[in-house]
Structure 1
Amino acid sequence: MKKGLLVTILFSFILILAACGGNDVDQEASNTSNESSSTNQLVDLTATNFEFDQAEYTVNAGEEVKITLTNEEGMHGISIDEFDVNIEGEGEATFTPDEPGEYTIYCSIPCGQGHSEMTAKLIVK
């Protein structure tokens, strides 16, 4: 009788733990999807020697921006001083621009003779 009671209690305990774990996974999946949808502005920059793939990038004020840098040729980084963005080499950063305006994106790693001219504009509307 004691053995049957012990097995029943153990089985009940396992079911309770399994049920609790299931809710955590569902909640985590929900949080992940909410986080992904909160960053709806993506800026993908591709850098080659002495230029970015676009001269201008446009985003909306008050919305989170995810910016990524890919180096197609050479070794580059990007900075946007007003938003404390600094990516050295390939990578990504997120920020939220509050004020409309034009901001300079520039290469932050000395990359050769054309380095000082390696800029683009971030236009915040």
Structure 2
Amino acid sequence: MKKGLLAMLVLGLALFLAACGGGDSNDSNGSDETGNDGGDAAETAGSTMDVTATNFSFDKDEYTVPAGEEVTVSLTNEEGMHGIGIDEFDVNIEGEGEATFTPEEPGEYTIYCSVPCGQGHADMKSTLVVE
């Protein structure tokens, strides 16, 4: 009896850890597992955009990237479970992870939380400025 219970606990733990594993990112160019510089500056060399999410906001109201260059967006959840959606670039990160896209047209685009995260979910938005 004890061996069966122990086996079920181990299996349950393994399933839990598997569900909490790596982020999944989708974009029109496929997933990219490139590293980032660890900074949270909106404008960085190498076109990396680091976003930190908390309940119920992103760390910046506005992120700026250059038009015509590949951008890697990286999401870190500091508090709660969140995601990033940018419809115009087919970006959808659910949980922590990365996605790569190339914005061709200058303009302003909405970044929103793509994971229902609670009462403040509808207000969890930022702006992507492509220059």
The TM-score, its normalising length taken from structure 2, stands at 0.66
Q: Give the unaligned 5+ runs of structure 2.
A: 1-33, 36-44
Task: State the secondary structure of the residue aligned to 1:63.
Answer: coil
What is the aligned counterpart of 2:112 among 90, 106, 123? 106
Runs of 4+ in 1 over 2 A off after TM superposition: none
Q: For the residues of structure 2 that align with 1:40 and 1:96, how far apart are their CA atoms? A: 12
Alignment-mate amino acid for residue 109 of structure 1: V
The TM-score, its normalising length taken from structure 1, stands at 0.69
Q: For the residues of structure 2 that align with 1:92 and 1:120, how far apart are their CA atoms? A: 17
Residue 78 (structure 1) aligned with residue 84 (structure 2): yes
CA-based RMSD: 1.5
Highest relative contact order (Cα 8 Å, sep 6+), 1 or 2? Answer: 2
Shift of the alpha carbon at 1:50?
0.6
Shift of the alpha carbon at 1:52?
0.3
What number of residue pairs does the alignment pair up?
A: 89
Residue 93 (structure 1) aligned with residue 99 (structure 2): yes
- The answer to which structure has the higher helix fraction is 1
Alignment-mate amino acid for residue 100 of structure 1: P
Aligned to 2:74: 68
Q: For the residues of structure 1 that align with 2:110 and 2:125, how far apart are their CA atoms? A: 7
Alignment-mate amino acid for residue 111 of structure 1: C
Task: State the secondary structure of the residue aligned to 2:122.
Answer: helix
Task: State the secondary structure of the residue aligned to 1:82.
Answer: helix
Structure having the higher Rg: 1
Identical amino acids, percent of aligned pairs: 72
Shift of the alpha carbon at 1:40?
1.1
